[in-house]
Structure 1
C-alpha cells in the first residue's frame, strides 16, 4: 500500500476545500439552517409530535441525510472529474499507484468533507431545536457508511460524466427527489397503505429510517434491514469501481 500516494491525493483534495470554505462548508450549513427555520420553526410549531418526537427534532436526521448524500456525491464526482477534464488523469494512471490507492485518496477526502458538514449541521440544529441521540455509535455507523457509500457513488458519476452538466443530472434528478420522498420530513406511516408499500422501494427510506432510529429509537424500517441495505449498496459501488479500473471504461478514452 503506497501511503504517500494516498496522502498526496487526500491533501490535494482537502486543500481545495479549505480554499473555498464558503462553497464547501458554509453554503450547505446555511441551506440546512433555512430548512430548520421554515420547516422546524414556522411549520413545526403548528404540528404535533410524530412518534413522540417534536416535528423540529424529527426532521434533523432527514436533513442530515439530505446534505450528506448531496455533498458526498458532488465532492467525489467533481474531484475525479477534474483530472479527466484537464487530462492529468493519464499521469495518475501511469504512476506506480494501484486503483485502491487512487480511490482511497479521492473517496477518503470526499468522506472527510461530508462528515465535517454532517457534524456542523448537528451543531447548527442545536440552535433551533433540542434533541438527543439515543444510540450514538449507530449514528456514527450510519454517518460514516452513508458518506463512504455515496462518495463511491459520486466517484462513479465523475468517471461516467463527460461534461460538467452530467455531474448534476443524477444528484438533482434522482437523489434529491428520492430524499424528499424518503421520509425526510414525514414518517411513511402517515401515508396511505399503497404509498407506504411503494416507499419501501426507495433506498433512501432505509438510510433516513436508520439514522432516525439512532437519534430517537423510532423508525419506519427495522434498523438491521437499514444497515444491510447500505452495506449492500457499498458492496455494489466497490464492485463497480473495481470493474471500471480493471477494464479502463471511461478512463482511457
Structure 2
C-alpha cells in the first residue's frame, strides 16, 4: 500500500478543515447549541421523561447524529467534487496509487473531521444537560462507524454531482428530513402504530436508535438490528464506489 499517497491526500483534506474552521466546526456546534437551548432547556423543562430518560438528555444522541450525518456527507462530497471541478482529479487518477488508497485518503479525512465534531458537540452538551454514557465502547463504535459510512456516501454524491446544486440536493432534501423524522426529538414508540411501521423504513431510525442505546440503554429497535442496518449500508457504499472506479463513472471523459 502506498502510505505516502494516502497520507498526502489525508493531510491536504485535514488542512482544509483548519482553513475553514468557522464552517467546519464552529457553525455546526453553534447550531447544535441552539437546539439544546430551545428543545433541551426551554421545551425539555416542560416535558416528562422518555423511557426514564430526561428529555434534554434524550435528544443528545439525535442531535449529535444530525450533525454527524450532514458533516460527513458535506466533507466527503466537497473533498472529491473540488478536484473534479478544477480538473486536478486526473492527477490523482494518474498517480501510482490505487482507488482504495484514494478512498482511504478522502474518506478517512472526512470521517476524522466528523468524529472530532461529534466529540466536541458531546463535550459542549455537558454545559446544557447532565448525562452519562452507559456503553462508552459502543458509543465510540457507532460514532466512528456512522462517520465512515456517511463519508463514503458523501464521496459517492461528490462523484455523482456535476454542479454545486446537485451537491446539496441529497443532504438538504433527503438526509435532513429523514433525520428529523428518524427520532431525533422523539421516540417512534410515541407515534400511532401505522406511523411506527412507516418509520421502520427510514434508515436513520436505526442509526439514532443504536446511538441512543449506547447512551441510555433504551432504543426503538434492537441494537443488533441497528448494527446490521448500518453495516449493510456501509457495504452498499463500498460496492458502489468499487463499481465507480472500475467503470470510471463521472471520473473519466
What pairs with 1:124-143 in structure 2 (closer than 5 Å)? 124-143=124-143
**How far 1:51 sits from its partner (Å)?**
0.2
Separation in 2 of the partners of 1:55 and 1:67? Answer: 19
Q: Aligned equivalents of 1:37 and 1:229: distance in 2?
A: 32
CA RMSD of aligned residues (A): 0.4
Residue 55, structure 1, aligned to residue 22, structure 2: no
TM-aligned CA deviation for residue 19 of structure 1? 1.1
Matching of residue 115 in structure 1 with residue 115 in structure 2: yes
What is the match of residue 245 of structure 1?
245
Once the two structures are TM-superposed, the CA of residue 43 in structure 1 deviates from its matched residue by 0.5
How far apart in 2 are the matches of 1:165 and 1:38?
Answer: 31
TM-score, reference length from structure 2? 1.00
Aligned to 1:14: 14
Matched, 1:78 2:78: yes
Q: By how many angstroms is 1:169 displaced? A: 0.2
Instruction: Work out the CA distance in 1 between the residues paired with 2:251 and 2:67.
Output: 29
User: Equivalent residue for 1:198?
Assistant: 198
Query: Pairwise mapping of residues 1-253 of structure 1 onto structure 2 (< 5 A)?
Result: 1-253=1-253
Structure 1 residue runs of 4+, over 2 Å off?
A: none
CA distance in 1, matches of 2:123, 2:27: 15
For 1:226 and 1:233, how far apart are their aligned partners in 2? 11
Provide, for residues 213-242 of structure 1, a one-character-per-residue CA deviation record: whole Å limited to 9, x for no partner.
Answer: 000000000000000000000000000000
Task: Give how far 1:166 is off.
Answer: 0.7
SS at match of 1:185: coil
Rounded to whole Å, the distance in 2 between the matches of 1:199 and 1:56 is 22
- Structure 1: runs of 5+ lacking an equivalent: none
Unaligned runs of 5+ in 2: none
CA distance in 1, matches of 2:140, 2:229: 16
Matched positions, count? 253
